Structure 1
Amino acid sequence: MAGLFQTTAAATSNTLGDLKGDVELQNGPEDTISDIAFNTNQADQKDFLAVASWDKKIRVYEILSNGQGQPKVAAESDGPILSCDFFKDGSKVLFGGADKAAKVLDLNSGQAVQVAAHDMPVRSVRYFEANGTPMAVTGSWDKTVKYWDFRSPNPAGTLTCQERVYTMDVRNQLLVIGTADRYINIVNLNDPTKFYKTIQSPLKWQTRVVSCFTDANGFAIGSIEGRCAIQYVEDKDASLNFSFKCHRDQPQGNVTNVYSVNDISFHPVHGTFSTAGSDGTFHFWDKDAKHRLKGYPNVGGSITASTFNKNGSIFAYAIGYDWSKGFQGNTSNYPNKVMLHPVQAEECKPRPSVKKR
């Protein structure tokens, strides 16, 4: 089933999207953006976007009604910031990075305080709640995942993984952890100190990203080899698992250029999802219909991070150098910016199913 989403050029004319309405976020970071996150509080009328960067700063912008972003607050760390996530109420941002720590930035006071520590860089951070208590989960290259109650300086629990943590995601009570050597650990946050299930990624190359479905019944995996896998948690749904090729050029003779899938984001309303890659493109997909909804032209540089806002009307994506072509590819004129794409309903809505009479 690996080729389900492969379509010919003639068949894709109606699935080609355009970028003409996309707006650049002004006053952006000075180095490659590693992660971006929107506030998810439905009661908040405003959209705020957190941007984590290799320039050692976390920045939060208010997205105005005209699509422009206005800087609201920023904080500096002692090393590149690799991951960020909003608190559920939208008042604070959790972030972590190469300084081996995770911190919380208060949007009202502008103050950042340390809430977590590891022995190696913190690669991924996520906010969640345990019985109503605000918590953080942090994954590190020290091969551990730790849980933190913000009222205590010590971890509330620790999981030891097989290898370095490369990516994590949380949705409801589902925590998915992707590590080096292609291990995928699944955790039920009702029983957070043990693995509910461990699998080897169905993709043959290094895991780049994991992202949970909106209904928390499964997750998507992206690899460095231009593939994406759809994986359900429970064995009873195993027949729904599949993988497909994406973010790769048309074959030229015996050579096909393949690119890393750097981020996967699920639409909060429709449950469809995006992939974004080192080839400088992003695509919207319907996993249930096994169909590509829209594909977009090259944006001029690798897309390093992406996310939807809380109602799915904005798709934000970061363009910057991801080192996929080594030192030689890091030219002084390489773009480094965040773009805001206004999402039209037909771009992300699932395709109606065709029922046989």
Structure 2
Amino acid sequence: MAGLFGSSSTSTNQANTLGDLSKDVTLSAPPEDSVSDISFSPQSEHLAVASWDKKVRIYEINQSGGSEGKALFEHEGPVLSCDWSKDGTKVVGGGADKAARMLDLGAGQTTAQQVAAHDQPIRCVRFFEPAQGGATMLVTGSWDKTIKYWDLRQSTAVATVQCQERVYTLDVRNQLLVVGTADRYINVINLSEPTKFYKTLQSPLKWQTRVVSCFSDATGFAVGSIEGRCAIQYVEEKDASSNFSFKCHRDPPNNNMTNVYSVNAISFHPVHGTFSTAGSDGTFHFWDGVAKHRLKGYPSTGGTISATAFNRTGSIFAYAVSYDWSKGYASNTPQYPNKVMMHPVNGDECKPRPSVKKR
């Protein structure tokens, strides 16, 4: 399926699918430069924000979307990724200084410790729980074409896995690790055998991979590309008939020309398993992948959306309106918006459609 599902041309009731941004709340004291990544704690209402200003900031978010800065730590270069440990005690950042640095809030640390190193900038960092049990570990993906696994009690990597190309994106859910590289390679790893590729495929999308995001139930993953497309992929062959891709984040055709935009972020709802896409067109949308239907589309936020995240209950959807470098350094003007917004998820915005059983 390659059609645009839930678009204005096919939607039965456009008013029902148009979302409202009027209740969205701005994060107080945001970073001073572009936001590269945001991540909610899985245990509390805290949000980590990674930025090109070399810092990871941690905010407390209340139920109305209000916020207060609580902590921050610094890198020696732009921070490109951040993540929380499952128990909510640790925050890690990875960045252009080729290092991952971790703040242990549970231990009362006020300065971050370096916990990982690569030969090139670290593009992605994720905590995971080892299949055999034991202490939380870290996986890092770098432009040096490797992923590395780290036991946080040791200064050297437990294992290094060579990839085909530079790592652009990775995500972890339970024992599923998905790694997207340059040249559209996607490596699927079962973390019970972390040094083996369980499966390698070329992205089903024809253009550069921008983001991969694992399903809430870890049976598959979504891929977003620079060309306004998203693909839904299941890990196992038996589910392959459910794989599909669709168009999103593109303007209506005009004189046989269509402006297409990068899909920068995909986030899965922690309760419903539905998902969001957000792009450099400045919009975000909520989708039901099973019903192949757009649940809600939102008006432009006034700038490219660089990162998104749901909180642990799915009641807040955070999105960063921030320059994403898609048009080079010349377009990054001081007037460009740089903010993180909290969108309250109301009613059925993210609920899947009731299934219609065929007789």
Alignment TM-score, normalising by the size of structure 2: 0.96
Contact 1:85-1:93 at 8 Å conserved across structures: yes
Q: Which residue of 2 aligns with 1:8?
A: 8
Within a 5 Å distance, the mapping from 1:152-301 to structure 2 comes to 152-301=154-303
Please tell me the root mean square deviation across aligned C-alpha atoms, in Å.
1.1
Deviation string for 1:111-148 (max 9, x for gaps)?
A: 20001000000000000011132100000000000000
After alignment, is 203-212 or 317-326 more displaced? 317-326
C-alpha contact (below 8 Å) 1:129/1:135 kept by paired residues: yes
Counterpart residue identity of residue 129, structure 1? E
Aligned to 1:86: 84
Question: 3-state DSSP class of the match of 2:129?
Answer: strand
How far off its partner does 1:13 sit? 2.2
Q: Compared with structure 1, are the counterparts of its residues 348 and 16 closer, same or farther at alpha carbon in structure 2 (3 Å cutoff)?
A: same
Q: Which residue of 2 aligns with 1:126?
A: 126
User: Which runs of 5 or more structure 1 residues have no equivalent in the other structure?
Assistant: none
Matched positions, count: 353
1:323 deviates by 1.8
> 49-58 or 131-140: which moved more?
131-140
Q: Which residue of 2 aligns with 1:145?
A: 147
Deviations 1:53-96 (A, max 9, x none): 00000000001233211000001110000000001111110111
For residues 66 and 229 of structure 1, the distance between their equivalents in structure 2, rounded to whole angstroms, comes to 33
The 2-side partners of 1:155 and 1:327 are apart by 35
Contact persistence 1:6–1:245 (CA under 8 A): no
Residues 176-206 of structure 1 show CA distances to partners (whole Å, capped at 9, x for unaligned) of 0000000000000000011000000000000
Secondary structure of residue in 1 paired with 2:348: helix
**What residue is the counterpart of 1:73 in the other structure?**
71
* 1:143-168 superposed Cα distances (whole Å, 9 cap, x missing partner): 00000001111111111000000000
Question: Are 1:106 and 2:108 counterparts?
Answer: no
CA–CA separation in structure 1 for the residues paired with 2:101 and 2:73 = 10
Aligned equivalents of 2:324 and 2:292: distance in 1?
29
Match of residue 21 from structure 2: 19
Looking at structure 1, the residues matched to 282 and 191 of structure 2 have their Cα atoms a distance apart, in angstroms, of 35
Deviation at 1:6, TM superposition (A): 5.1
For 2:72 and 2:8, locate their aligned partners in 1 and report how far apart those are by CA, in whole Å.
Answer: 45
Question: Counterpart of 1:237 in 2: which secondary structure?
Answer: helix
Per-residue displacement from partner, 1:248-293 (whole Å, max 9, x unpaired)? 0000011100000000000000000000000000000000000000
Distance in 1 (alpha carbons) for counterparts of 2:194 and 2:112 = 27
Per-residue CA deviations over 1:219-253 (Å, capped at 9, x if unaligned) read 00000000000000011111000000000000001
The aligned counterpart of 1:48 is 46
User: In the alignment, is the contact (CA less than 8 A) between 1:273 and 1:286 conserved in 2?
Assistant: yes
Would you say the 8 A contact 1:67–1:340 is kept in 2? Answer: yes
Q: Could you tell me which residue of structure 1 aligns to residue 349 of structure 2? A: 347
- The percent identity for this pair of structures is 70
Deviation at 1:4, TM superposition (A): 4.5
**TM-score when normalising by structure 1:** 0.97
Q: Secondary structure at the match of 1:348?
A: coil
Match of 2:323 in 1: 321
Distance 2:317 2:348 in 1: 14
Aligned residue identity for 1:161: C
Return the offset for 1:347.
Answer: 0.2
How far did residue 332 of structure 1 move? 1.7
Counterpart of 2:83, as a letter, is: D
1:331 alignment partner, SS class: coil
Q: Distance in 1 between matches of 2:285 and 2:193?
A: 35
Partner SS for 2:46? strand
Deviation at 1:20, TM superposition (A): 0.8
Amino acid in structure 2 at the alignment position of 1:126: R
Question: 2:32: which partner in 1?
Answer: 30
